[in-house]
Amino acid sequence: MAALDYTFERREKLFRAEEREQGRQEGRAEGLAEGIVTIANEYAPNYDVEAITKRYMKL
55 burial (CB, 10 Å; 0-12 / 13-18 / 19+) is middle
The model scores a pTM over 0.85: no
- State residue 19's pLDDT score: 96
User: Residues 6 or more apart from 56 whose CB is under 8 A from it?
Assistant: 36, 39
Which residue ranges in the chain fall short of pLDDT 50? none
